[in-house]
Amino acid sequence: MAALLVCLNFVMGPMQMLKSYVVPYWINVMWLDLVTYLLNHHGHEDKLPWYRGKEWSYLRGGLTTLDRDYGLINNIHHDIGTHVIHHLFPQIPHYHLVEATEAAKPVLGKYYREPDKSGPLPLHLLGILAKSIKEDHFVSDEGDVVYYEADPNLYGQIKVTAE
């Protein structure tokens, strides 16, 4: 692939390669990173746990992922917003994930978190991403059930301790 890109660079020129390959590639990588970041525990109004050690199970791990609504982009991504059911039953083909999610909601009950509805474009995810970047900095190194925590010193805040 690297050899092909170098050859195309000589044939098409660097500016055309930048416009036709590099910029679309960057956009694709940024989008996939955003989707992956927001599907896995980040930015939900309830703090979702991370399970480790003896507390972790396949079911617990699957139930702490999140479904998201991507508006018109749902169909382009083969309904990737149905992430919970995909983690619980990865053998279900993407074209049945929406109906499987609908069937599973009554069974999952309170363990299913309904995603915020999107307009045609998922602009609501920008607020969720900003909230997560501000609040979800790290998980503790200790414990088998941990939650994302904010670093109080990151934004110049001073941590006050009782003496």
| Unique residue bearing structure tokens 């279900």 | 92
Residue 74 identity: N
Query: Is 82 within 8 Å of 98 (Cβ atoms)?
Result: yes
Integer Cα distance of 160 and 148 in angstroms:
20
Give how far the C-alpha of residue 158 lies from the chain's centroid of Cα atoms, to the nearest Å. 30
Phi, psi of 139 (to 5 degrees): -115, 150
Integer Cα distance of 71 and 129 in angstroms:
17
pTM listed for this prediction? 0.74
pLDDT string in tens for the chain (163-residue length):
999 999 999 999 999 999 999 999 999 999 888 888 887 767 777 788 889 999 999 999 899 888 999 999 888 888 888 989 999 999 999 999 999 999 999 999 999 998 988 999 999 889 888 888 888 888 889 999 999 888 888 776 555 555 5
Residue 73 identity: I
